[in-house]
Amino acid sequence: MRIGYGYDVHAFEPGTGLILGGVNIPYDKKFKAHSDGDVLLHAICDALLGAAALGDIGKHFPDTDPEYHNISSLILLEKCMALIRHAGYELQNIDSSVALQAPKINPFVQEIRETIAKHASVSLDAVSVKATTTEKLGFVGEGKGAEAHAVVLIQKH
């Protein structure tokens, strides 16, 4: 068994289409990014790749490659799952936390979990998503962006 840890952060910019965990969250801002900027899925991807010692998301999907411009991070998650499976591992579980002052995502957590489970091909009870604020501290607390942390457990098959 191996444990992987992932972290990602993105600033907000004006616009609509805030994507988190593959789910569109109604908000008057979106993530500033080359892809869809999904901080949660990026953290999960980094955790998966790290657990299998396969590098990080930037190595496999560089933001300098036009192929990944505006790509759905759900596709990146599926590609990361294929990479770890090719390396001989299966995902056992994901535990993740998203920090953002707004919008409130608790009403969407179940849908986010279901979306991640579907695209990672694991059962719903293998996916945990938690939300928190930073009590108005730092760039997250000032509403300038969001961050996500993820831990995964993989097992050799």
Task: Please state, in angstroms and rounded to a whole number, the distance separating the CA atoms of residues 92 and 22.
Answer: 20
- AA letter at 69: H
pLDDT tens digit string along 52-68?
999 999 999 988 888 88
The predicted model gives 33-43 an average pLDDT of 94
pLDDT tens digit string along 64-96?
888 888 899 999 999 999 999 999 999 999 999
- The residue behind tokens 């831990």 is 151
- Domains of the chain, start order: 2-156 (3.30.1330.50)
The residue length of the chain stands at 157
Task: Please state, in angstroms and rounded to a whole number, the distance separating the CA atoms of residues 117 and 120.
Answer: 5
- Predicted pLDDT of residue 125: 98
Q: How confident is the model at residue 40 (pLDDT cuts 50, 70, 90)?
A: very high
Phi/psi of residue 154, nearest 5 degrees: -120, 155
Q: Average pLDDT, whole number, for the chain?
A: 96
Structure tokens at 2: 């191996």
Task: Please state, in angstroms and rounded to a whole number, the distance separating the CA atoms of residues 105 and 136.
Answer: 16
153: which strand partners? 3, 93
